Chain A
Amino acid sequence: MEEMVCIECPNGCVLTVENKDGEIIVGNYKCKKGITFAKTELLSPKRTISSIVRTVFPDIPVIPVRVSGDIPKDRIFDVIEEINQIRLDKRVGRGHIIIDNVLGLGVNIIATSSILINT
């Protein structure tokens, strides 16, 4: 039996994970998110990441972005590399897609602030 910290919410439950004849048994969770988390974490761990992109606007040199959904943990730095290439020259708002389907992972890089349009 393995222990695993669930990162789905601030509770940070210490889950127990057991592989019983190919079936994954999760224990010690406070909510169902724990079960999903443990299973994914064992098979193909996923994470959310946030970063910033450079803009061409001197008043707002960078704006915050994040992935619209979880990405495989082992692709984090590949995605960051894509974000690093961007230089934003349009005043876009919160939710605007900055990179569509990044690296074919099925998620977008979206702006998480409207500071460029609300200044």
Chain B
Amino acid sequence: MKEYDVIIIGGGPAGLASAISAKDEGKDILLIEREVRLGGILKQCIHDGFGLLRFNEKLSGPEYAEKYIDIFNEKKIKALTLTFVTEIVKEENGFTVSVVNRDGVTNLHTKTVILATGCRERTARQIFIHGTRPSGIFTAGTAQAFVNIYGQKPTKKCIILGSGDIGLIMARRLTLEGAEVKGVYEAKPTPSGLTRNVHQCLNDYNIPLHLSHTVTRVFGNSRLTAVEVSRVDENMAPIKGTEQIIECDALILSVGLIPENELAETLGAKLNERTKGPVCDNLYMTSVDGLFSCGNALHVNDLVDYVSENAAEAGKAAANYIKSERKLLEFSVGENLLYIVPQSIELESDLSAVTVYFRSSGDFNGKKFTIKVNGDTVFEKKYAFLRPPEMEKLVIDMNKFNLNMNSRIEFSII
């Protein structure tokens, strides 16, 4: 059986960055990708805006990905493409990873595994859209693949449900390619995507954004012919009598992303209710020893730059992993905080620069991100505004906090 130090599952931005940093530690690593090409979902994200933090450049998704792929290739990192992981089994000294590809079924052994499997989109059924089952209901990502990879028109006249970033981006993409986007509907009272995307993708093209509205029914036996939209109340329940029928040939959904964690779950990794990804420590190790997670599989990031960054840290940590007793101190999530990643720190690790990512649970102006240890405020940072769609990142020196296993460390926005 082949033996590796690190096996990385997923060849998107997270997998690439973690592979490169793990390789830099001089270890024997392998990346497994189920598609023909590396790059993950960035291959179809042809719009610009990637890499501002990382490269100080406005790159398109493919450019960003290929910069990493070039480094990956230069470093002669081993990759198996068009290869699918069917099972991972935890063993005394690592993991056995079973893969299938055109060559057959292979078992590989590794000391550590990094899950860089990205996320998937919520579907029409998961948000309880009812009515018939015609063709013409697409998630935004599927529509994006049809347009940008296959050069095919998925719609001539559509509405978009959900104001997540991919939905907004697709509103602009479809408009540029000649389709009519009759409107973007969002059940929440505020947009889910970045403010700049509302402006440059909708306002620039006079695409109306209808907040507090949702799609309640679809029509059509073969191809979609119309949708019914309704206003929703503060609990996002449709209000009777506000139904409106809109004729269109497609309904495009941008209603949320869910980290892909089926492999993590089969290994018994604990998941976080809020992030829907595995809980991890500051080394990106999950509750399973030797199993790491990064990128959108860990929690859905709004910027690929952050994905690359935490993946690189995960890669380094996995490469240097030595089995030992873990001394984890768990974080408490206090008021106004939706979530924080990581959820704990390894007290034996270097705590001089701990990266934390967080989202607020609501829109706040002028509040402070605060860390309390045993009730005393040890860190605070004021933010002019905080919104749930906009993830924040901080690097904090936690050595100063003098933490031990009995410390109580709480994060909040006050």
List the A side residues contacting B302 at CB < 8 Å.
10
Asked if A106 lies at the interface with its beta carbon under 8 angstroms from chain B, I say no
B195 within 8 A of A: yes
Decide if B147 is an interface residue (CB 8 Å cutoff). yes
* A residues near B63, Cβ cutoff 8 Å: 94, 112-113
Q: Are A62 and B148 in contact (CB under 8 A)?
A: yes
Instruction: Name the contact of B62 in the complex, choosing from A49, A51, A113 (C-beta under 8 A).
Output: A113
The answer to the question of A43 belonging to the interface, with a C-beta cut-off of 8 Å to chain B, is: no
Residues from chain B with Cβ under 8 Å of A66 in the complex: 46, 48, 60
A14 and B363 CA atoms in complex are apart in Å by: 15
Judge whether B176 and A76 touch: CB under 8 Å. yes
Residues of B within 8 A of A11 (CB): 196
Residues of A close to B151: CB separation below 8 A: 52, 54, 61-62
* Min C-beta distance of A2 to chain B, whole Å: 14
Interface residue ranges of B340-394 to A (CB < 8 Å): 390
**Given A12-B195, A64-B46, also A112-B62 (CB < 8 A):** yes
Kindly list chain A residues whose C-beta atoms are within 8 Å of the C-beta of B49.
Answer: 10
Complex Cα–Cα for A9 and B302 (A): 12
Judge if B37 is at the interface, Cβ distance under 8 Å. Answer: yes
> By the criterion of a CB under 8 Å from any partner CB, how many residues of chain B are at the interface?
31
A103-119 near B? 1/0 per residue, CB < 8 Å = 00000000011110010
Residues A5 and B195 in contact, CB atoms below 8 Å apart: yes
**A-side interface residues, number (CB < 8 Å):** 31
Interface readout for B287-329 with A: 1 if CB under 8 Å, 0 if not? 0000000000000001100000000000000000000000000
Within 8 A of B (CB), among A13-58: 14, 47-52, 54
* Contact A10:B194 (CB < 8 A) given known A50-B47, A52-B148, A61-B150: yes
Shortest distance from the beta carbon of B96 to any chain A beta carbon, whole Å: 32
Complex Cα distance A89/B258, Å? 39
Contact of A73 among B177, B194, B204 (CB under 8 A): B204
Q: Which of B47, B66, B150 contacts A94 (CB 8 A)?
A: B66
Most chain A CB within 10 A, of B62, B150, B302, is at: B62
Residues of chain A within 8 A of B177, CB atoms compared: 51, 80
Closest to A65 in B: B46
**A50 CB contact (under 8 Å) in B43, B48, B66, B199:** B48
Contact A9 B52 (CB under 8 A): yes
Tell me the residues in window 90-112 of chain A with beta carbons closer than 8 Å to chain B beta carbons: 94, 112
User: Which A-chain residue is minimally distant from B200 (CB atoms)?
Assistant: A7
Does the CB pair A50–B196 fall under 8 Å? no
**B residues in contact with A54, CB < 8 Å:** 151
Instruction: Assess the A10–B196 pair: CB atoms within 8 A.
Output: yes
> A14 vs B384: C-alpha distance in the bound complex, in angstroms?
11
- Which residues on B sit within 8 Å (CB–CB) of A77? 176
Question: B54 in the interface, Cβ–Cβ < 8 Å?
Answer: no
A50 / chain B contacts, CB cutoff of 8 Å: 46-48, 60
CB-contact partner of A49 in B176, B198, B199, under 8 A: B176
| A71 interfacial contact with B, CB 8 Å | no
Q: Is B237 among interface residues, defined by CB-CB distance under 8 A?
A: no
Chain A interface residues toward B at CB < 8 A: 5-12, 14, 47-52, 54, 61-62, 64-66, 73, 76-77, 80, 94, 112-115, 118
| 14 pairs from A and B in contact (CB 8 Å cutoff) | A5-B196, A5-B199, A10-B194, A10-B390, A12-B195, A12-B196, A47-B204, A49-B176, A51-B46, A51-B177, A52-B46, A62-B151, A64-B46, A113-B66
Given contacts A50-B60, A94-B66, 6 further A-B pairs with CB under 8 A are A7-B199, A10-B194, A12-B196, A47-B200, A54-B151, A64-B60
